[in-house]
Amino acid sequence: MKNKTIVVQGTQIAIATRHEQDYISLTDMVRGFDGGGALIEQWLKNKDTVLFLGVWEQLNNANFNSLEFEGIRNEAGRNSFFLSAKKWIKATGAIGLHAKTGRYGGTFAHRDIAFEFGSWLSPEFKLYLIKEFQRLKDEESRATALEWNFQRTLAKVNYKIHTDAIKARLIPQRLTPTQTSVIYASEADLLNVALFGITAAQWRQANLAQRGNLRDDATLEQLVVLSNLESINAVLIHQGLAAPQRLAQLNAIAITQMRSLVGIGSIKRLTGAGTNRRTGK
């Protein structure tokens, strides 16, 4: 069956159905970037990419070869390390990537992975990719009366990577479940302050009459940046940076990415704990 297509910043991108899931063409995604198809292998060579792919497979693939993955993970990051989609699939039995031949061929990735690749290419491209994909899913939803939850899809994998990093590096042994939940909550609020300028509790206090939470009220652009910050914070945690250092870096990244996505003239002020993103005060 012919692939579905979306157009992102003038580039036509194919979407195929595999295992009853949407797979987006990475080959099409890089057509408008210098380097073309070589960018896919550059991305796969990155150690953080290998870690991300491994987590995704462990969550979604019961037949994933974890032993082979460990070997690849140990080699990732070295100058001599090379990884192609075909090599990754053959070695680990991965299902998140698919190398397809024929007229509508190329390297395809599950939408979770394709969004992450889009972020690596550029935050702007990721935003437009998600918007066009969301438009396609909305059209399909109207046709089939099935709900597609964009927010849940965007947050799922990066949230797992973030919490795994917290568990591995920040939670001492022999804590009670209550003590552990405090650490998770504080890390979530670190991201809230970096992006929104307020904690979850401060948002609830300022919006007593409103249902939901701070992240439910976020814009699409903020959700894209938030998913990026979760991945970046996981890396910073593994690097051993203290919370104040991570907050400063994450806030600077949030400001840069939000300016790129929505324009300097319309961005709300993000700096400073306690800033209300509705009023700017």
112 against 152, higher pLDDT = 112
pLDDT at position 40 is 95
The answer on 8 and 121 residing in a single domain is yes
Last residue of a domain, one of 81, 109, 144: 144
The type of residue at 81 is F
Token pair 């870690």: residue: 51
The answer on 163 and 125 residing in a single domain is no
Last residue of a domain, one of 81, 112, 144: 144
The answer on 111 and 61 residing in a single domain is yes
Cα 25 from Cα 106, distance rounded (Å)? 7
Last residue of a domain, one of 144, 174, 201: 144
Domain extent for 249: 156-266
Percent of the chain with pLDDT over 90: 29
pLDDT at position 224 is 82
Which pLDDT band holds residue 96 (cuts at 50, 70, 90)? very high
pLDDT in tens, 16-75: 988 888 999 999 999 989 988 899 999 999 888 998 999 899 888 999 999 999 999 999
Task: Give me the residues paired with residue 18 across strands.
Answer: 21
pLDDT in tens, 155-198: 565 666 677 776 666 656 666 777 677 777 788 888 888 888 88
Average pLDDT, the chain: 81
Is residue 254 within 8 Å of residue 231, measured between CB atoms? no
Is residue 229 within 8 Å of residue 249, measured between CB atoms? no
The answer on 226 and 124 residing in a single domain is no
Q: Indicate the length of the chain as a whole number.
A: 281
The pTM assigned to this predicted structure is: 0.60
Q: Is 13 exposed, middle or buried (0-12, 13-18, 19+ CB in 10 A)?
A: buried
Cα 24 from Cα 3, distance rounded (Å)? 10
The answer on 113 and 49 residing in a single domain is yes
The answer on 139 and 15 residing in a single domain is yes
Q: Per the structure, how many domains does the chain have?
A: 2
- Whether 151 has a pLDDT exceeding 60, the answer reads no
